[in-house]
């Protein structure tokens, strides 16, 4: 019997039975789309492995307990920004539990006390919240900007000993609506990516990259994004980034370029703050044949564009907080 120590994340959809009763087909579509664009990409982004999906839930393994908690926080932050037109009880929301413990390995599956405790922690988390075991709380102390709330010891099903539970939330709660003035709103303008290939037919691709980024970033509720028509007024112009930031009253500007060389396409991107300072810069190389399936991955490797949009938004908000 093979055993190992692992960080286990257990997630479950809040009110899943009620959602299915109200609209079975629609709920399944929404859940599948959420997994494709949010859950699976963020798990991959943080180095997790989805052990199994259980209808409305998922069991995920991490080698790092810090990565497991970071993933849990990222998931809940991302979920808070989706389906804004639905009432709270109709939105897809997760309860998440994270435990660090000994597990039994059987093929690709995991069993044992470490898994069972994570599953019980998940049931104790509030909707949209995260519950941690004491072991997790001790291991991440001082490593993450989080605030812990001691929920005390709980007797849980099929676990002999009481489980000491801690709730976790980001140290910096998002501002209340209207709390950020227009002059200091956390926002971004995505400038049209420059076509550096010298081929006019590649113009559509560089414009498409820009439009995809604008569209996906617009789904992040905590971020104000300049509209496409506004951004494209700067197309083909030599712009001064601080001036653009002042003009649009945004905190950041994203600019980039596209260059085709043979069967390869190189895309560069850089995020710049309102003062003209570089937050990050990246370069991406892809085969021309993969253009139709191309999705940029910044600022960290990610399997889906929606997840990387979340990361870009997080970079913007973090950079703004330091200013």
Report CA-CA distances (Å) from 254 to 58, 140, 170: 35, 33, 26
Where in the chain do CATH 3.30.70.1230 domains reside? Answer: 2-170
Contact call for residues 276 and 323 (beta carbons, < 8 A):
no
Using alpha carbons, select from 166, 146, 164, 177 the residue that is nearest to residue 77.
Answer: 146
Contact call for residues 225 and 190 (beta carbons, < 8 A):
yes
DSSP conformation letters of 200-268:
GGGHHHHHHHHHHHHHHHTT-TT-EE--HHHHGGGTTS---HHHHHHHHT-SEEEEEEEEEETTEEEEE
Instruction: Answer yes or no: is pLDDT of 258 > 90.
Output: no
Q: Distance between CA atoms of 30 and 35, rounded to whole angstroms?
A: 9
CATH code of the domain made up of 182-322: 3.40.50.10070
CATH code of the domain made up of 2-170: 3.30.70.1230
* Pairs from 195-201 (Cβ < 8 Å, separation ≥ 24): 195/257, 195/258, 196/257, 196/258, 196/259, 197/258, 197/259, 197/260, 197/261, 199/260
Q: Distance between CA atoms of 34 and 38, rounded to whole angstroms?
A: 5
What is the per-residue pLDDT for 246?
86
Bridge pairing between strands 94-106 and 2-13: antiparallel
Which residues lie across from 233 on neighbouring strands? none
97-134: per-residue pLDDT in tens? 999 999 999 999 999 999 999 999 999 999 999 999 99
Quote the strand ranges of 66-162, DSSP E: 94-106, 109-111, 130-133, 146-154
36-93: per-residue pLDDT in tens? 888 988 888 888 999 999 888 999 999 999 999 999 998 988 888 777 788 888 999 9
Where in the chain do CATH 3.40.50.10070 domains reside? Answer: 182-322
Tokens of 267: 């895309």
Model confidence band, residue 307 (pLDDT cutoffs 50, 70, 90): low
Residue 239 C-alpha from the chain's centroid: 30
- CA contacts within 13 A on the Cβ side of 161: 7
Task: Give the H or E element holding residue 60.
Answer: strand 57-62
Contact call for residues 214 and 193 (beta carbons, < 8 A):
no
Phi-psi region of 184 (alpha: psi -120 to 50; beta: other; left: phi over 0): alpha
- What is the average pLDDT value for the chain, to the nearest integer? 82
143-167: per-residue pLDDT in tens? 887 888 999 999 888 788 888 999 9
Overall pTM surpassing 0.85 (yes/no): no
């Amino acid at each position: 019997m093979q055993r190992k120590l692992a960080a286990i994340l257990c997630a479950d959809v809040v009110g899943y039975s009620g959602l299915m009763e109200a609209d079975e087909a629609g709920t399944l579509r929404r859940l599948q789309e959420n997994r494709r664009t949010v859950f699976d990409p963020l798990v991959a982004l943080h180095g997790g492995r989805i052990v199994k999906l259980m209808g409305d839930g998922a069991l995920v393994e991490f080698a790092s307990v810090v990565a497991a908690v970071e993933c849990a926080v990222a998931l809940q932050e991302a979920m808070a920004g989706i389906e804004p037109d639905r009432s709270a009880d109709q939105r897809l929301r997760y309860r998440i539990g994270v435990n660090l413990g000994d597990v039994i390995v059987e093929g690709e599956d995991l069993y044992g006390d470490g898994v069972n405790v994570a599953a019980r922690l998940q049931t104790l988390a509030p909707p949209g919240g995260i519950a941690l075991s004491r072991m997790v709380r001790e291991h991440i102390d001082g490593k993450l900007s989080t605030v812990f709330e001691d929920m005390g010891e709980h007797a849980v099903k099929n676990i002999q000993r009481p489980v000491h539970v801690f709730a976790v939330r980001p140290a910096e709660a998002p501002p209340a609506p209207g709390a950020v003035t227009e002059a200091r709103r956390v926002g971004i303008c995505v400038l049209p990516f420059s076509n550096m290939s010298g081929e006019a037919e590649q113009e559509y691709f560089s414009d498409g990259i820009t439009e995809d980024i604008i569209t996906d970033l617009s789904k992040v509720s905590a971020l104000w994004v300049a509209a496409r028509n506004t951004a494209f007024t700067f197309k083909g112009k030599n712009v001064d980034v601080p001036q653009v930031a002042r003009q649009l009253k945004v905190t950041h500007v994203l600019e980039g370029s596209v260059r085709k060389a043979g069967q390869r396409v190189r895309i560069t991107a850089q995020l710049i703050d309102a003062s003209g300072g570089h937050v990050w810069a990246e370069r991406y190389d892809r085969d021309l044949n993969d253009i139709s399936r191309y999705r940029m991955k910044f600022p960290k490797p990610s399997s889906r564009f929606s997840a990387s949009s979340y990361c870009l938004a997080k970079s913007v908000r973090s950079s703004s907080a330091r200013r």
